Amino acid sequence: MAIVALAAGAPLYAEHVANTTPERNNLTGKIVVDGETRDVVSLDGIPVGPTWQREYLLGADANGRDVAVRLLYAARNSLFIGLTAALITTLLGIALGLLAGYYRGATDWVISRAMDVLWAVPVLLLGVALGVALTLGGLKIGPLEIRGGSLWIPALIIGVVSVVYLARPLRGEVLRLREQEFVEAARAQGASGPRIMVSEILPNILTTVLVFFPLLVANAVLLEAALSFLGAGVQEPAPSWGLMIGSGIKVLITQPALTIAPGVMLVLSVLSLNVVGEAVREAINPRARVRLEQ
């Protein structure tokens, strides 16, 4: 909750308190700290540390950008990617689970083998490969065109590679539900396949979806950070916690804050999502689980 509020307030903070934008470089500027004028980035390239005042609250990065402002904007990007990816996973997972579980036979065979293929490649390996490829080339599907640096690319990749987590359990559930009396009753009344899926089966699998959703968002946020860290996710100059950790590590010796701060934000958001997920899971279905890989 707090993270969402911070993310929403990011532009306000940037404009009124820190007086900069997340992508504005400031290599030659000077600021006054404790009555002493200092370079934002010193001549030998060392950025200023946390100042604990309005501008550069948590210091600057190597480009002279305000770390606190970038952290908040990164929160927006992470949440956007996490939520979009989880939504993509959910929609795809529901569609595939319903089709495979309800029609069985050839449809089920094709979908299940496709899931086997996704399962066979480690999520991170596939994500990195797709990330690098799509970031360079962008993506064109018919009239839809996504530029290389767009946030939609990591969101889409994470959404698609995570589909197995949801589609498999849903398929099992649909297989069980389709034999129940109320489905048979609907079929006896002459309801069509799609109608039964949407109005009879779908409402019954929504609780499972609800249990998985926060866990999927948590997983997506973590995966986004990992991909960005490896250079296959969010692209500079857009801010991302994973990206900030990646560049922070290079100056860990002089400026540990550049690594610690984004990591703490990342841990807190993933942790809160996992705690929410845990609470929902305890309340509804103690067996749901998302397989984690790092």
Give min distance, CB of 77 to other proteins, in A. Answer: 16
Give min distance, CB of 190 to other proteins, in A. Answer: 29
Mask 64-103, x = binds other proteins (CB under 8 A)? ----------------------------------------
Question: Could you say whether residue 231 binds other proteins (CB under 8 A)?
Answer: yes
Question: Could you say whether residue 126 binds other proteins (CB under 8 A)?
Answer: yes
Q: Which of 53, 119, 149, 182 binds other proteins (CB under 8 A)?
A: 119
Residues 6+ apart with CB under 8 A from 135: 148, 149, 153, 232, 235
Whether the Cβ atoms of residue 164 and residue 199 lie closer than 8 Å to each other: no
Q: Which of 163, 172, 160, 165 is nearest to 98 (CA)?
A: 172
Whether the Cβ atoms of residue 227 and residue 127 lie closer than 8 Å to each other: yes
Q: Which of 87, 91, 160, 260 binds other proteins (CB under 8 A)?
A: 260
Closer by beta carbon to other proteins, 114 or else 202: 114
Q: Which of 226, 238, 243, 258 binds other proteins (CB under 8 A)?
A: 226
Could you tell me how many helices (H) and strands (E) the chain has, helices first? 11, 4
Helix 163-177 × helix 202-229 angle, to 10°: 170
Closer by beta carbon to other proteins, 11 or else 50: 50
Question: Could you say whether residue 40 binds other proteins (CB under 8 A)?
Answer: no
Question: Could you say whether residue 249 binds other proteins (CB under 8 A)?
Answer: yes
Q: In this structure, what token pair is assigned to residue 248?
A: 């922070």
Q: Which of 177, 185, 162 is nearest to 207 (CA)?
A: 177
Q: In this structure, what token pair is assigned to residue 44?
A: 């030998």
Q: Which of 122, 149, 193, 194 binds other proteins (CB under 8 A)?
A: 122
Task: Round to whole Å and give the CA distance between 159 and 90.
Answer: 8
Task: Round to whole Å and give the CA distance between 177 and 197.
Answer: 10
Judged by the rule CB under 8 A, the positions of this chain that interact with other proteins are 113-114, 116-117, 119-122, 124-126, 128-130, 132-134, 136-138, 218, 222, 225-226, 229-232, 242, 245, 249, 252-253, 256, 259-260, 262-263, 266-267, 270-271, 274-275, 278, 286-287, 289, 292-294
